[in-house]
Chain A
Amino acid sequence: MKSEQQNIISGGIIALISIIVYFIIIPMEVKLKPDAKVGPEFFPKLAVFTIGVMALIYVIIQVRNLRAAQVSFKDGLMFNVKEYTAHIIFIAMTVLFLILTRYLGFAISAVLFLISLLFFFGSKGALKNIIIAVLYGITVYYVFSNVLKVRFPPGILGI
């Protein structure tokens, strides 16, 4: 689809989010100070307002450009979810890893995670991947925890 169509969608989503934040999220999440002239809500509202207005202008300009090119909005409008399955899996894997660290400790989980990542990103060869993951994972863990004194809470297995 043409870039204008994509831009209209992205601009529209941003405008929508701005409206939601302004009218719903801010009253919900920003604790007001009753007698303040410039209170805690001033700046967030200003920022969101600017974003919303700019997004609307953006959408309008894109619509105009689309009309000028004599293309209807619905022409060729497509969203290929399959393009992003890899990304979704990637984020899911990471969240899983972070949950796993609580049980297996950082070092072990990191090595396992690294092995799966290496395969996921296309590195072939099980032995190669395992060696890289173990060497690198242990080294990085050692540097951060012993040299840089960063504390990693141990998991069930004690590491």
Chain B
Amino acid sequence: MEISEVLGQFVDISVIIGLFAGVAFGIIGGALPGISPSMTIALLLPVTLYLPTITAIATLMGSYQGAMFGGSVSAILINTPGTASAAATALDGYPMAQKGQAKRALQTALYSSCLGGLIGTIILLFSAQFLAKVALKFGPPEYFGLMLLSLTLIAGISGKSMLRGIISGGLGLLFATVGLDPIYGSTRFTFGNINLYDGINTLSVFIGVFALSEIMIQLSLGRVELDKKPKVANSNTNRLKLKEFLSQKTNILFSAVIGSLIGILPGIGGSTASFMAYIASQKRSKKSEEYGTGIIEGVAAAEAANNAVCGGALVPMLTLGIPGDVVTAILVGALISHGIKPGPLLFVEEIGSVYTVYISLFLAVIVLSVVGTFGIPVFSKVVTIRKSILLPLVFIICIIGTYASKSNYFDVFVMLFMGCVGFALRKNGFPIPPLVIAFVIGRSLESNLRRSLILDSSGALIFFSRPLSAVLIIAAIVSTIFMVRSNRRHKRKKEA
């Protein structure tokens, strides 16, 4: 089947409607906290079963990309990541909104998402089979090395006090150990409660530590202050100028590459990717101190990465039949029900289906930019609402969203607890990002460490006898040393 033939099939009104509906639904689902991208797609599945194959794939890809962007809408506007992968976006996105630049932040997020998604698709297009082989080389020791490297980068985004950052990170790691032990199944910190067997719900942590702690901090302002009408920002500072966007091209490129590479590894998804891209971007940037105060660099890096994950996660799915993340796992099911069986033979037997997926991704990104552009003025109106009204409304969404993820009120109580923890930490100057990152990667870090030790009973030798994991671990050690040194130098400069 020629690629032009497949392309021709896309010129169909139902496909175009599917793309737009998928993207729109994805954005809404992504924006609603508690509705993860995988849930959004799972909801669309029954509908797509009745649609012709191309329309179905287009709709699903559209909602995948849409959801990855949608999460940033609530992350930016109300400091509540709508999806786990948007947590990193909130780090700079919300401060930007606080500064009256909500629209600018949303535009940065949108266009970075689109560009990131595009780059992810291109990477998928040209190197799918090669990358799949690389992905397979990642066994437990390599995963551990990668997670260790990410963990050490936490030290870099600790801001002023590395000690406080490490403490926050340690807390995150500790929270990550709650639940059943991944290797032996023993209960850890479950206090006899079956709802904790799978660990603390990631959403409870994100929503609690970001949104609820923020609401509580705002509460300190007092009723009078909260009821005041928010100042309307100067429309000139609230716009993303083309020049500014273009200045981010290297940032977006690197972040997208990081995003798609991480997306390729099964089991690691959007949130890890966007955090790593964010940290890497901060390390590379001359403005590294300004990260977290509300600059477009942070938003661009996080959003480019999490949309690039879409392309990356499809690599192992299409080439090996192994899903790269939760969403692609559902996509496998969707494809199978249309008679397309993802696996090593797909490229050989059904290249047309592969082209369909590629083209859908491309078009999804384009449609996203259109739908998003129309949506942004609507979304931005949210910040013109008085806080006395906005905060209660946001809180209800937080509660219902946390409940929705597993239909369990327990998660809401956990969210309350994490909110208080987050509030207490912030009030005492402890940074939140290290806690969140450590929590996200903690489980993978520990389970892969112990898996590696099981695989090679001779102890830690396994990490260094394999080239890839050795490289990653040495990189982790080296980066820690560098960061401690630069932090010391920094402190000395300040005191001088």
Residues of A within 8 A of B (CB): 3, 6-7, 10, 14, 21, 25, 29-33, 36-44, 47-48, 50-51, 54-55, 57-58, 61, 83, 86-87, 90-91, 94-95, 97-98, 101, 106, 110, 113-114, 117-118, 120-124, 132, 136-137, 140-141, 143-144, 148-152
Contacts and interface: CB of A to CB of B under 8 A. Distances in A.
A43 B446 CA distance: 7
Nearest to A6: B428
Chain B, interface residues (CB within 8 Å), range = 35 or more
Given A38-B453, A110-B400, 15 more contacts: A6-B428, A10-B428, A31-B188, A50-B166, A51-B171, A54-B167, A58-B163, A97-B399, A98-B413, A110-B399, A114-B392, A121-B387, A144-B400, A148-B43, A151-B407
A121 B420 contact: no
Given A6-B428, A10-B428, A38-B453, A136 B188 contact: no
Interface string B23-39: 00000010010010001
Nearest to A143: B32
Residue among B400, B413, B428 with the highest chain A CB neighbour number at 10 A: B400
B46 to A, nearest CB: 10
Contacts of A25: 189
B191 interface: yes
Contact of A7 (B183, B386, B389, B428): B428
B425 to A, nearest CB: 9
A150 B32 CA distance: 13
Interface stretch (B127-135, B221-229, B372-380): B221-229
| Interface SS of A by simple majority | helix
Contacts of B403: 150, 152
A29 B188 contact: yes
A97 B396 CA distance: 11
A59 to B, nearest CB: 10
A110 B409 CA distance: 14
Contact of A44 (B164, B189, B219): B189
Contacts of A113: 396
B213 to A, nearest CB: 10
A54 B163 contact: yes
Contact of B226 (A32, A41, A58, A121): A121
Contacts of B220: 83, 86-87
B330 interface: no
B184 A123 contact: no
B184 A33 contact: yes
B186 A31 contact: yes
Contact of B392 (A36, A121, A144): A121
Contact of A87 (B39, B395, B423): B423
Interface in B172-230: 173-174, 177, 181, 183-184, 186-191, 216, 219-220, 222-227
Contact of B35 (A38, A114, A148): A148
Residue among B173, B174, B386 with the highest chain A CB neighbour number at 10 A: B174
B188 A30 contact: yes
Contacts of A110: 396, 399-400
Contacts of B227: 121-124
A130 B181 CA distance: 48
Contacts of A117: 391-392, 395-396
Contacts of A140: 396-397, 400
Contact of A121 (B166, B173, B188, B219): B219
A58 B428 contact: no
A121 B391 contact: yes
A46 to B, nearest CB: 8
B416 interface: yes
Residue among B184, B413, B423 with the highest chain A CB neighbour number at 10 A: B184
Given A47-B174, A51-B170, A87-B216, A38 B450 contact: yes
B393 interface: yes
A58 B170 CA distance: 14
B408 to A, nearest CB: 11
Contacts of B190: 29
A32 B187 CA distance: 9
Contacts of A123: 227, 386, 388-389, 392
Given A30-B189, A123-B386, A114 B396 contact: yes
Nearest to A86: B219
Contacts of B399: 94, 97-98, 110
Contacts of A141: 400
B462 interface: no
A149 B163 CA distance: 45
B189 A98 contact: no
Nearest to A124: B227
Given A51-B167, A61-B163, A118 B174 contact: no
Contacts of B430: 10
B144 to A, nearest CB: 12
Contacts of B267: none
A144 B398 CA distance: 12
B199 to A, nearest CB: 12
B163 A57 contact: yes
B266 to A, nearest CB: 22
Contacts of B167: 14, 51, 54-55, 58
Nearest to B409: A98
A40 to B, nearest CB: 4
B187 A98 contact: no
Nearest to A41: B188
Contact of B388 (A40, A58, A121): A121
